[in-house]
Structure 1
Amino acid sequence: MTEAGWPREALVVAAQSGDQEAIAALVSGSHPHVQRFARSLCASPEDAEDSAQEALIILYRKIGTLRASGALASWMFRIVRNECLRRARRAFRGDELVRPGAVVSAEDDVLRGLEAQRVAAAIAELPGDQRRVLIMRDIQGYPGRAVADALGLSTAAMKSRLHRARTTVRELLLRHDDH
């Protein structure tokens, strides 16, 4: 059974078998959901857009590897989450997000470094309990249950702190954009 609004299972099955029209329709129909996932998970609107696009490319290229046709939503959520995490880790470390062969201007290099500093500063402003959850879950990539166990929390309490932390970071970044 698919989640409301996601492409129907018959379309997923057709796409899995290589039907190019079905693949195109699947990517198109998944696009708004993938964007919503990315906006809720990524640190910045730019990362969300890039992560959504990357997830749709993966969907296009690897739909045949999806084992259960009814698991499209959870598969796409994992892809978006992993892409957002990858970008957050790189921003936190100050790594480049440039593809091999791309030319980087000095201005782009400086802007990327400043963005990473902004994200790190916003994370540093979080209360300690929220910062620990955010870093363990979103930057280090630990599973939710492992984070909850390590911090002596219930899964619900860990999720609540993580949501508050993400919301606070987003607000801090937006507030600093206004200045």
Structure 2
Amino acid sequence: MPRKSTLAIAAAIGVGASLLTAAPALAHGYTSNPPSRALLCKQGAVQNCGPIQWEPQSTEGPKGFPQSGPADGTLCAAGDSRWAPLDDPRGGTWPATKVSSGPYTFTWHLTAAHATTSFRYFITRDGWNPAQPLTRAQLDLTPFLQVNYGGQRPPYDVSHSGTLPAKHGRHMILAVWDIADTGNAFYQCSDVDFG
């Protein structure tokens, strides 16, 4: 085999191997319906968000919620201090999407699809305090919607149909995208108002 061909094949194998090893770091996404705090920062609907405004898809932290995962008070930022403005309750003034109990379609925009265990959706308990950072004690720790993927890769724009529980007033939905072949998950917080 000519030397140039051998070098080209070696280079191609090296590039392919580096792409395979880099793949887990490429999985990212955010909720677009209801819009997450991260997306509202990206859109400029909320100011003083820090660098999350350029990386709404990057709220990645340890998986295993609710038994493990990010610490209480850091759930919206996935335990990553770079995204800490997402955990700031801002006195309960984050823009809230108007919703009502019943059928609802949740959507995510993924900037890189990844092998997925599940998407899970949690909601705050009645009487929670929207002026405090989100904790496990403020959430119903049984997801009201769980969509299992069994390691499959979802499309880049993915929707899940579910039913919003009967609630009144302001609440928060914590969406968790569990990655199948890494130790991480993506966390997105969406403020909603049931009226």
> Relative contact order (alpha carbons < 8 A, sep ≥ 6): 1 or 2 greater?
2
Q: Is the helix fraction higher in 1 or 2? A: 1
Same fold (TM over 0.5): no
- TM score, norm. by length of structure 1: 0.29
TM-score (norm 2): 0.27
